[in-house]
Structure 1
Amino acid sequence: MSVRMVDRAIPAIRGRVQAGAPLAPFTWFRTGGPAEWLVRPVDAEDLVALLRDLPAAMPLTVLGAASNLIIRDGGLPGVVLRLGGAFGAVSVEADGVVAGAACLDATLAEHAAAAGLGGLEFLCGIPGSIGGAVAMNAGAYGTEIKDVLDWAEIATPEGIRRLPAAALGFAYRHAALPERAVVIRARLRAAPGDRAAIAARMQEIRATREATQPVRARTGGSTFKNPPGHRAWALIDAAGCRGLSLGGAEVSGKHCNFLLNAGGATAADLEALGEAVRARVLAHSGVALEWEIKRIGLAAQGITGP
């Protein structure tokens, strides 16, 4: 579908600016519409300049690894920010690791393991980036970012700020970041440990993911939050949703809290299937599932063609 983007200027920066950029290739589902503007600053100074001069009414979306995201078929208005290059640096210290927001969680875990630092193994089981992990208090295998974070650096329209973990108001899959703030770097605590034991724990996590989750499929991770006292997958299974399909979207037969793009799915297919699952679970068990996957952007009719 051809898309006519709104003619809105954005600040000039040293990084790359692309109008009408496809976003589906960046998402794990491989679905979704384009960005009005895809912007990739070259460094923190460039990012601050963008945030400072960006009109207040211009929407701003930060796109990380896009592993837990549905971008709707009409795309994203305004600026879509994607960090790379200088934002992916990793530095290992005696009792922790400092990593840029674009560093993948698994990459940080590997750096820590190579240095004989333990406590960050859980990150090898989270398919995202450090910026996103901080912003959503990512967690797995009994540990969350809030448990290991010393500080996070954020870019704001006023400049760079370093915030201690206590200032981020962490909750389940949530951090209270200031308005239009972008995580650019973080320090995670670790402790010296036995390299063989650390490597074995990471291998155990990877093997568990491989055995229980559709990690090689076009998916977005856990679709729904676990309600208090329940496991979302068990509620979905009990409601008869395992393998349920709609258009090109499907509920995984391997782990039914995962939605799949089984081939040619649109974002609308995925979202509609998720809502169908929620309705069946509510009717069967009386429990209202809440989305864990973020769903953002405009429906297909939200941006008009020429």
Structure 2
Amino acid sequence: AGALDAHVARKAAAAGVDLTFLRTIPGAIGGAVTMNAGCYGSYVADHLIEVDVILRDGRRQTLSAASLSLAYRSSDLPEGAVVVSALFQGASADPDVLGARMADQLAKRDATQPTKDRSAGSTFRNPAGFSSTGKADDVHDLKAWKVIDDAGLRGFSIGGAQMSEKHPNFMINTGTATAADLEKLGEEVRKRVFQNAGIRLEWEIKRVGEPAPDK
């Protein structure tokens, strides 16, 4: 479960197995399972067979994908369970074709997302309840980046934290951001989007701990 998503995608492609959707997803397999990660219209739920977890009492358990109720950016893993391994299934395909597809995905990502900046990936879940498909007919009306942009928050910053000019659903550290800057920026974006569109954005980033009180 500690294997990087991109590494798994590359290894699978070399073996002629199509898990290419994982190539541009930051993080590792454990997190991908927990959040039902996905992009370009494919999700962990489409390929996952089962996972091994360690429960809070120390027992190891194998859970079927069907038992996890995988949905958009969510799963029903037992409270406090830690994913230790996962079994996936992918369609057979020519390794060269899969390699070319991943190269195309990377090029699209680099053209539209701040991949060279310091961020935690997408900040908020899409109100539409699904990720971008990357296809020409993709609808953006209820995408997080669109409602943030419509609220005039592209490039908006607090301290060293900024909503990216390139992709406004990416919160970046411009170099001096504190945890408080990032927290305040995210909450201010949520407030202004609600004021502008009546939509309450939900955090996609998993935050740990409690915000520091204002001084």
TM-score of the superposition, structure 2-length normalised? 0.89
Instruction: State the partner residue of 1:37.
Output: none
Among residues 81, 90, 113, which one is paired with 1:190 in the alignment?
90
CA RMSD of aligned residues (A): 1.3
Alignment of 1:75-90 (within 5 A): none
Identical counterparts, % of pairs:
52
CA distance in structure 1 between the aligned counterparts of 2:58 and 2:69, rounded to whole angstroms: 21
Alignment of 1:67-216 (within 5 A): 101-118=1-18, 120-156=19-55, 157-216=57-116
Alignment of 1:265-280 (within 5 A): 265-280=177-192
Q: Which runs of 4+ in 1 moved over 4 A?
A: none
Residue 237 of structure 1 pairs with residue 136 of structure 2:
no
Q: Give yes or no for contact 2:153–2:168 (8 Å, CA) kept in 1.
A: yes
Cα distance, 1:158 vs structure 2? 4.5
Instruction: State the partner residue of 1:29.
Output: none
Cα distance, 1:294 vs structure 2? 1.6
Structure 1 unmatched ranges of 5 or more: 1-100, 302-306
Cα distance, 1:111 vs structure 2? 0.5
Instruction: State the partner residue of 1:96.
Output: none
Q: Measured at CA, do residues 180 and 287 of structure 1 come closer, stay the same or move farther in structure 2, by a change above 3 Å?
A: closer
Q: Give yes or no for contact 2:183–2:211 (8 Å, CA) kept in 1.
A: no
- The residue type paired with residue 41 of structure 2 is G
Cα distance, 1:258 vs structure 2? 0.6
Instruction: State the partner residue of 2:136.
Output: none
Residue 253 of structure 1 pairs with residue 165 of structure 2:
yes
CA distance in structure 2 between the aligned counterparts of 1:241 and 1:203, rounded to whole angstroms: 31
- The residue type paired with residue 271 of structure 1 is E
Q: Secondary structure at the match of 2:171?
A: strand
Q: Give yes or no for contact 2:9–2:22 (8 Å, CA) kept in 1.
A: yes
CA distance in structure 1 between the aligned counterparts of 2:210 and 2:125, rounded to whole angstroms: 23
Q: Which moved more, 1:288-297 or 1:137-146?
A: 288-297
CA distance in structure 2 between the aligned counterparts of 1:168 and 1:136, rounded to whole angstroms: 11
CA distance in structure 2 between the aligned counterparts of 1:200 and 1:288, rounded to whole angstroms: 38
Q: Secondary structure at the match of 2:80?
A: coil
- Per-residue CA deviations over 1:91-135 (Å, capped at 9, x if unaligned) read xxxxxxxxxx100000100100111112x1010110010011111
Q: Which one has a bigger Cα radius of gyration? A: 1
The size of the alignment, in residue pairs, is 200
CA distance in structure 2 between the aligned counterparts of 1:192 and 1:172, rounded to whole angstroms: 26
- The residue type paired with residue 258 of structure 1 is F
Looking at both structures, which has the greater relative contact order when contacts are Cα pairs under 8 Å and sequence separation is at least 6? 1
Q: Secondary structure at the match of 1:196?
A: helix
**Relative to total residues, which structure has the larger strand share, 1 or 2?**
1
CA distance in structure 2 between the aligned counterparts of 1:203 and 1:165, rounded to whole angstroms: 29
TM-score of the superposition, structure 1-length normalised? 0.63
- The residue type paired with residue 278 of structure 1 is R
Structure 2 unmatched ranges of 5 or more: 129-140
Q: Which moved more, 1:235-244 or 1:284-293?
A: 284-293
CA distance in structure 1 between the aligned counterparts of 2:86 and 2:212, rounded to whole angstroms: 36
CA distance in structure 2 between the aligned counterparts of 1:289 and 1:158, rounded to whole angstroms: 36
